[in-house]
Amino acid sequence: MTEDYDYDLFVIGAGSGGVRAARMAASRGKKVAIAEERYLGGTCVNVGCVPKKLFVYASQFPEQFYSSQGFGWSQESHPTFNWATLRDNKTSEIERLNDIYQSLIDNSGADLFDGRATVQDPNSVVVNGTSYSAKIILIATGGWPFIPEFPGSKYAISSNEMFFLDELPATAVVVGGGYIAVEFAGILNGLGVDTHLVYRGDKLLKSFDREMSQKIAAGMQEKGVKLLLNTQITSIENDADVFNVRTNHGNTVKSDLVLYATGRTANTSGLGLENTKIELRKDGSVPVDGNFCTAEPSIYALGDVIDRVQLTPVAIQEAMVLVDHLYGLGEAQIDYNNIPTAVFCQPELGTVGLSEEAAMKTYTDIAVYTSEFKPMLQTLGGGNDRITMKLVVDKASDRVVGCHMVGEHAAEIIQGMAIAIKAGATKADFDATVGIHPSAAEEFVTMREPSR
């Protein structure tokens, strides 16, 4: 017991941000509780980043089988794919990670409650019928897939269900133009599903560099995804277990599965926040100040539920900053600029800093360096993949303000580049760096002449 409260900190939600906050606060000697109604590790571990990446790996094997032939390999028989094996092996791996999360929480000394927690008042939480008082309550309940309502929307599934399908469909329609839509379109297509990607706008991944987005659209089509841009779904009808997916252009696509990847909204409904001064935004997210404090001084929130940047590493960093603010020196800061990110579509995107379009609005004069080439694997392996790289430079300071890549290993390469960008590297620093040969990444330090 601490002061007059059962807990110093009561965390609602054991996802990436919540668990990190609970463990760090406990390691500072605080009495901590964490409640989770669903699964330990949250979206990222259970129905997001981790299982998605495993599916991406699975979907890339056909290209690798194909490439291997030019290097002298031959397969005695045509490789076949078993969806149930992938799905169940993935689930076993996720269960292993759930256990690790359980141990991490147990070893930290925090109390874990298996149940839905609701806020009773600014200093108490009810879970499994018992009320606990807490000096600080942290809302870390994450987000949930959003599917718009329209005729037949009940037939659409979200990314949550994609990880547990009984069978891999023969045909699929994926709706949306963001991270999840392009990633799942690539996975399905790679696994041999006849895949349509339907997006209402004219540019996939609209918040990213336009040229990179165009390369991704072209690369996805090259690999077999049927892309329908500027297209809205008007209805879905169920016709003997095949869905007739009708578009605003009067077309009908027949499909075994319709995946809606149309964004994620804050997971705040039924949380009891009406018992506090907190007023949710229209989209359901929780407004917080620079220290993650809500309108209620004893309630904090972080991660996807505050709808700033919906990325696991951001939630984890927010948790560390918050714990330092509450129980440490209060010196830790989070900088939302230059957050590197990757989209595991195929071809893959890695990016940090400003897009060319954003840099043009921010700086008076920029130089843009680009390079496009064939990956070395394809010299013998065949295939039509390309790698595109771009550096955006503020001419006045010579600082590299944007770094983008589409192609193999983009995520791995951009993570390293992000340190340079974060440290304020100039184009001269890039030029003075010796390349690693032969690699694709060396191109980032050998681009001498601006393209524009």
Applying CB under 6 A, among 50, 137, 156, 180 the residue interacting with ligand NDP is 180
Applying CB under 6 A, among 200, 226, 409, 422 the residue interacting with ligand NDP is 200
Binding flag, residue 310, ligand NDP (CB under 6 A)? yes
Shortest distance, CB of residue 86 to ligand NDP, whole angstroms? 19
Rounded to an integer, what distance in angstroms lies between the CA atom of residue 309 and that of residue 315? 8
Read off the amino acid at residue 286: V
When the beta carbons of 119 and 354 are compared against ligand NDP, the nearer one is 354
Applying CB under 6 A, among 181, 185, 225, 392 the residue interacting with ligand NDP is 181
When the beta carbons of 122 and 219 are compared against ligand NDP, the nearer one is 219
List, in order, residues 6 or more apart from 107 with CB less than 8 Å away.
none
Sign of the alpha-carbon dihedral angle for 291, 293, 298, 301: negative
Binding flag, residue 47, ligand NDP (CB under 6 A)? no
Binding flag, residue 262, ligand NDP (CB under 6 A)? yes
Quick check: 324 and 308 in contact, CB under 8 A? no
Dihedral over alpha carbons 7, 306, 90, 62 (to 10 degrees): -160
Shortest distance, CB of residue 341 to ligand NDP, whole angstroms? 6
When the beta carbons of 14 and 205 are compared against ligand NDP, the nearer one is 205
Applying CB under 6 A, among 261, 273, 315, 405 the residue interacting with ligand NDP is 261
Stretch that binds ligand NDP, among 85-93, 115-123, 257-265, 377-385 (CB under 6 A): 257-265
Shortest distance, CB of residue 315 to ligand NDP, whole angstroms? 11
Q: Total residues at the site for ligand NDP (CB under 6 A)?
A: 23
When the beta carbons of 243 and 344 are compared against ligand NDP, the nearer one is 344
Binding flag, residue 259, ligand NDP (CB under 6 A)? no
C-alpha to C-alpha distances, 378 to 224, 405, 412, 444, nearest whole angstrom: 18, 18, 19, 20
CA 132 from chain centre, in angstroms, equals: 33
When the beta carbons of 163 and 363 are compared against ligand NDP, the nearer one is 163
Shortest distance, CB of residue 184 to ligand NDP, whole angstroms? 9
Crossing angle of the two packed helices 16-27 and 83-108, in degrees rounded to 10: 20
Q: Token pair 């503020």 is at which residue?
A: 394
Residue nearest ligand NDP, Cβ-based = 178
Residue 136, beta-bridge partner list: 9
When the beta carbons of 136 and 316 are compared against ligand NDP, the nearer one is 316
Looking only at residues 340 through 369 of this chain, which bind ligand NDP when binding is defined by CB under 6 A?
341-344
Sign of the alpha-carbon dihedral angle for 184, 186, 191, 196: positive
List, in order, residues 6 or more apart from 74 with CB less than 8 Å away.
none
Active site residue 325: no
When the beta carbons of 26 and 316 are compared against ligand NDP, the nearer one is 316
When the beta carbons of 199 and 430 are compared against ligand NDP, the nearer one is 199
Crossing angle of the two packed helices 49-70 and 179-190, in degrees rounded to 10: 40
The tokens of 362 are what? 């921010």
| Among 333, 270, 276, 266, residue whose Cα is nearest residue 137 | 276
Of 196, 404, 409, 437, the active-site residue reads 437
Shortest distance, CB of residue 50 to ligand NDP, whole angstroms? 11
Crossing angle of the two packed helices 179-190 and 210-223, in degrees rounded to 10: 20
When the beta carbons of 9 and 236 are compared against ligand NDP, the nearer one is 236
Quick check: 344 and 34 in contact, CB under 8 A? no
Shortest distance, CB of residue 36 to ligand NDP, whole angstroms? 20
List, in order, residues 6 or more apart from 161 with CB less than 8 Å away.
none
Shortest distance, CB of residue 147 to ligand NDP, whole angstroms? 8
Applying CB under 6 A, among 148, 151, 297, 330 the residue interacting with ligand NDP is 148
Q: 252-255 and 242-247: which strand pairing?
A: antiparallel
DSSP letter string, 301-364: E-GGGGTS---HHHHHHHHHHHHHHHHS-S------TT--EEE-SSS-EEEEE--HHHHHHH-S
Binding flag, residue 391, ligand NDP (CB under 6 A)? no
Shortest distance, CB of residue 236 to ligand NDP, whole angstroms? 13
- Site pattern 160..179 for ligand NDP (x: CB under 6 A): ---------------xxxxx
Stretch that binds ligand NDP, among 8-16, 194-202, 328-336, 379-387 (CB under 6 A): 194-202
Positions touching ligand NDP (CB under 6 A) are: 148, 175-181, 183, 199-201, 206, 261-264, 310-311, 341-344
* Residues with catalytic function: 437
